[in-house]
Structure 1
Amino acid sequence: MKSLCLNLIRAISIGFGLFIHSVATAGVSYSLVENHAQPGQAITVRALVFNDEANALTWTPPEHLVLQWHHADNSITRSLARIKQPTKELRLPVNQFAMIEWAAIVPSAAKGIPVISIEGAPDLFALDTSPEGIRLASQPANAPIIDAGAAPIGQMDPIIDAEQLERKGISPTTGPAVAQAPLSPLSQQAFNNFRSAISSHDPIYFIVGSEPKANARFQISFKYRLFNTENEKEAKFHNHLYLAYTQRSLWDLSSDSMPFVDTTYNPSLFWRKEKLWQNENSPFYFGLNTGVEHASNGKSGVDSRSINDVFIQPEFNYVFGGGSTLSFMPRFKSYFAVSSDNADYKDYMGNVAWQLRWQQEHGLSVTGAYQQGKQGRKTSQVDVSWPLQRTPLNMNGYLYAQFYRGYGETLLHYNRRSQSQVRFGIALTP
């Protein structure tokens, strides 16, 4: 028992390391594109909208923003910024980004470096409005480095020893001006396009069980949208094409070397539209996912396994009054170019994966899947998740539990029946 506990703790620690990700908050973050502009010139206010909640985010960008210009003499000027490309509604799937821009004019009364804020938002910016020839922010800083806060209030702080700074690779006498273009518009646009195109696909989790001995199962999955669109309502057919990659491993934690039992590599190309049909007066909506996928375990010889299939997955959804959604998503498969090492794969896993999911908005999610092959070979899986932000831990991610029984838990042993298995752990996306 002691050995098992140590193995579980060790596995969960490694799992945290495998799945560390940047912290983000669903909502809107504003920034100012320029850092220098003179009175009468145009500037751009940019909003980055990111959705890391459990459900799709809907947001309508305002046509106008109100800017407050805080001047050195304590006076305040208010002006308007107008949206560049009017958008009635912006719908963001989970873990996707969008960028919106507004244009504004620098007020005639602006001098020096006023501080700018957006009414209703906590963001603050500074803009150098000095004449072109004497930009304040573009002047090199010819000054020593002080030990800020070391002197009593009202007195000059002492200068830090030059040799001490030089040993750290810091110039003690001068510093560069503010960079006018930290990132070229072309590079910045390419980076934003990438961030808005990549998102989660299947659940990303790390879970641990103990049947028959200590073991772990983890999965990494993401998809990439091939053609971005700024307005989902105007999206064309090609805007719904995706490339996806999922990798799932079963890990033996009970053996001395803790080897991986098997790993499945699963790339796919598909077309998916979440709301192919929707009536605003009805709680029902219909989606469709169809494409081609490949799965293999990357091994050679007698342990080699390889599957190819074409699939179509209609998605029937019903939204309850409380905000939860019930989804029925059967996936129908037709196999082709199946490896001779696993030619009877469909006899164990069948041609249909029946899937049912109930999901609360930023709450409990329960997903069940059932497959049946020939001669009564049955496989079932149930996944349950709960957001960690709604626990005393107040963390990102989800508590995750999974029940599995049947065939095909690994490609290598697709024809062996797994005993009932319950695993617990964490997930980045449910």
Structure 2
Amino acid sequence: MKKLLFSSLLLWFSLVAFDASGQGITRSTVDSLIGNAPAFSIHKDNFFISGIPINEEITRSTADAKYQISFKQLMTRNTLPWDTYLFLTYTQKAFWNIYENSSPFQEINFNPSIGFGKPVYNKKKKLVGLASLMLEHESNGRDSIFSRSWNSVNLEYSLMLNPKLKLTAEAWVPFSYKSGNPDLLDYVGLAEANLEYDIIPKRFMAELMLRKGLEWNWKGAYRVRIFYRPFKMSNQYFMLEWFNGYSESLVNYTEHVNMIRVGYVIKTNELDILKQ
């Protein structure tokens, strides 16, 4: 049943991907938008969700809450060579055993980065994508046998495949990770793809994340998210999330997780420039 649902999702996203994409906006418009954009903004989605496992018994210990806080600070505008700009980001993701006695945190992951962003244009000087090159660190701030951390150089590219479908692909070159988690790449791999489809633009959306580990097996992960915005003048949504796979958190990256959660999200508009 799970494989059938997963295959159906892949087929659906593949079919809608072949529609023609929009023409994009001009270089001068992009320069103006970047020049007038807030220096401080949301980077990844900020959310608080809670849910239950669907592959084991539901108890106070297996149900949990997950939340994420993420922001971005522009250090420069599009004034650096090759139309690039410098930015800092910080993302913090927490797994909270909120239903247990004393409500302990299972883990908190800290993920700062510094990087360069660049709009990408076609021969007609129309925007076709956004690229970024980042130096990232991620760790869980723990010691002893529970310590997990890794560093990577990440290359990310986002584009519209058609007026409703956005693809973000990210690849990384990891380093300084083998002391605490030498087999990490067997679970997180070297790349990730995210597809977001506007079922009803700015009201009802679906998102699919895919990640594959390095070995020739099924270790990896996929995540499905459904967003619904109840209020017109807002970037606040309700979100249903299904995560199935490995490395959702660092401390338990070798353990298979199959969780469904629901909650509240403040969505980022970082890539909305591609939809104009």
TM-score of the alignment, normalized to the shorter chain, above 0.5: yes
State how far apart, in whole Å, the 1-side matches of 2:193 and 2:142 are.
29
2:228 aligned partner:
386
1:151-173 CA-to-partner distances (Å, cap 9, x unmatched) read: xxxxxxxxxxxxxxxxxxxxxxx
State how far apart, in whole Å, the 1-side matches of 2:138 and 2:155 are.
17
Measure how far apart 1:408 and its partner are: 0.8
Q: Which of 344, 366, 369 does residue 209 from structure 2 map onto? A: 369
State how far apart, in whole Å, the 1-side matches of 2:94 and 2:113 are.
18
State how far apart, in whole Å, the 2-side matches of 1:306 and 1:88 are.
40
Q: Which of 248, 263, 276 does residue 425 from structure 1 map onto? A: 263
SS for the counterpart of 2:44 is coil
Regions of 4+ moved over 6 Å: 87-90, 279-282
1:137 aligned partner:
none
Q: Which amino acid aligns with 1:220?
A: I
State how far apart, in whole Å, the 1-side matches of 2:36 and 2:264 are.
24
Q: Which of 104, 107, 110 does residue 265 from structure 1 map onto? A: 110
> Which of 1 and 2 has higher RCO (CA within 8 Å, sep 6+)?
2
Q: Does 1:298 align with 2:141?
A: yes
Percent identity of the aligned residues?
A: 25
State how far apart, in whole Å, the 1-side matches of 2:124 and 2:83 are.
25
1:18 aligned partner:
none
Seen in structure 2, the aligned counterparts of structure 1 residues 333 and 281 have a Cα distance that, compared at 3 Å, is closer
Q: Which amino acid aligns with 2:64?
A: N
Q: TM-score, normalised by structure 2?
A: 0.75
SS for the counterpart of 2:180 is helix
Q: Which amino acid aligns with 2:148?
A: R
1:350 aligned partner:
189
1:362-418 CA-to-partner distances (Å, cap 9, x unmatched) read: 22232211111123212111122222314xxx7661111111011111100011111
Q: Which of 215, 218, 221 does residue 70 from structure 2 map onto? A: 221
Conservation of the 8 A alpha-carbon contact between 1:304 and 1:341: yes
Seen in structure 2, the aligned counterparts of structure 1 residues 384 and 91 have a Cα distance that, compared at 3 Å, is farther
Q: Which amino acid aligns with 2:222?
A: S
Q: TM-score, normalised by structure 1?
A: 0.49
Q: Which of 207, 227, 240 does residue 85 from structure 2 map onto? A: 240
The total of aligned residue pairs comes to 232
SS for the counterpart of 1:254 is coil
Conservation of the 8 A alpha-carbon contact between 1:278 and 1:286: no
SS for the counterpart of 1:330 is strand
Measure how far apart 1:239 and its partner are: 4.7
Seen in structure 2, the aligned counterparts of structure 1 residues 376 and 396 have a Cα distance that, compared at 3 Å, is closer
The runs of 5 or more residues in structure 1 that have no matched partner are 1-57, 59-86, 99-195
Q: Which of 277, 284, 289 does residue 121 from structure 2 map onto? A: 277
RMSD across aligned C-alpha pairs, in angstroms? 2.7
The runs of 5 or more residues in structure 2 that have no matched partner are 1-24, 269-276
SS for the counterpart of 1:348 is helix
Alignment of 1:403-418 (within 5 A): 403-418=242-257
Q: Which amino acid aligns with 2:52?
A: S
Seen in structure 2, the aligned counterparts of structure 1 residues 240 and 428 have a Cα distance that, compared at 3 Å, is same
Q: Which amino acid aligns with 1:315?
A: S
Measure how far apart 1:91 and its partner are: 4.8
State how far apart, in whole Å, the 1-side matches of 2:30 and 2:151 are.
39
Q: Which amino acid aligns with 1:263?
A: I
Tell which structure's C-alpha radius of gyration is larger. Answer: 1
Q: Which of 273, 288, 297 does residue 131 from structure 2 map onto? A: 288
State how far apart, in whole Å, the 2-side matches of 1:347 and 1:362 are.
37
Seen in structure 2, the aligned counterparts of structure 1 residues 238 and 198 have a Cα distance that, compared at 3 Å, is farther
Q: Which amino acid aligns with 2:195?
A: L
Q: Which amino acid aligns with 1:250?
A: F
State how far apart, in whole Å, the 1-side matches of 2:196 and 2:133 are.
19
Alignment of 1:3-402 (within 5 A): 91-92=32-33, 196-211=38-53, 212=58, 213-228=62-77, 236-237=81-82, 239-273=84-118, 275-278=119-122, 285-320=128-163, 325-359=164-198, 361-373=201-213, 374=215, 375-390=217-232, 397-402=236-241
Conservation of the 8 A alpha-carbon contact between 1:295 and 1:307: yes
State how far apart, in whole Å, the 1-side matches of 2:117 and 2:29 are.
23
Seen in structure 2, the aligned counterparts of structure 1 residues 386 and 97 have a Cα distance that, compared at 3 Å, is farther
- Structure with bigger strand share is 2
State how far apart, in whole Å, the 2-side matches of 1:269 and 1:381 are.
26
State how far apart, in whole Å, the 2-side matches of 1:235 and 1:253 are.
46
Seen in structure 2, the aligned counterparts of structure 1 residues 279 and 397 have a Cα distance that, compared at 3 Å, is farther
State how far apart, in whole Å, the 2-side matches of 1:90 and 1:224 are.
17
SS for the counterpart of 1:342 is coil
1:219-249 CA-to-partner distances (Å, cap 9, x unmatched) read: 00011111135xxxx7754752111000000
Measure how far apart 1:280 and its partner are: 6.3
State how far apart, in whole Å, the 1-side matches of 2:77 and 2:212 are.
38
1:168-206 CA-to-partner distances (Å, cap 9, x unmatched) read: xxxxxxxxxxxxxxxxxxxxxxxxxxxx21111111111
